[in-house]
Amino acid sequence: MSFEPNYNLDYDRRELKDKIIRISVKVILWLIVIGAAIFAAWAITEYCIEKTNMTGNSMEPALEDGNMILINRLSYRKEDPERFDVIVFNISGKEHDYYGIRRVIGLPGEKVQIKDGYVYINDELLAEENAVEPMQVYGLAENPIYLDDDEFFVLGDNRNDSLDSRYTGMGNVPRESIIGKAWIRLDGLALISGLNKKEE
């Protein structure tokens, strides 16, 4: 009696092995894709863009209580905020539920004072770019405020109903507390930098 190899069995084994390899490769590729997507989402929220809500009416009419906004976290990685930028910052190092959103008025190294309802920078009247009312309460800025090399003086656009650098509850904003630039208002989609500008 002669023995003949079962070629069909060998073929079936090879086919099963190839199928397992193909499935394994697909699973590994999917895991890589999912891992990359999770990493990309983490990197975007950690370093690029973050969503938060405006709390209170300090920035009316540009931003109202509850408005959802996107923060551009890359804006100030290599550059400092400029005057009239709307910035997002941590208040006393608290979590994002306690972000402050205000407009930069005084820059590091400047002298800021409020007189006759208006802001003076280094003893010169500030030409405001935004539509704001004369201030009735001057707070700390009734006397000259000298900003350190890493401090910013911020005000809300709603000058007569805003907790901002005029008050000890907020004070000057240290550079290290700034999260990024208030970029886009999602409610009634608009670039925040273009909101509440004075009419020419």
Written as one letter, the residue type at 13 is R
Q: What fold is seen in the domain 54-194?
A: Umud Fragment, subunit A (2.10.109)
Q: pLDDT digits over 50-107, tens only?
A: 999 999 999 999 999 999 999 999 999 889 999 999 999 998 755 544 799 999 999 9
- Residue 7: pLDDT band by 50, 70, 90 thresholds? low
Residue at token pair 């959103």: 101
Q: What is the pTM of this model?
A: 0.78
The average confidence (pLDDT) of the chain is 88
Domain residue spans in the chain?
Answer: 1-50, 54-194
Sheet containing strand 145-146, edge to edge, reads: 124-125, 118-121, 111-115, 145-146
Per the DSSP assignment, residues forming a β-bridge with 52 are 69
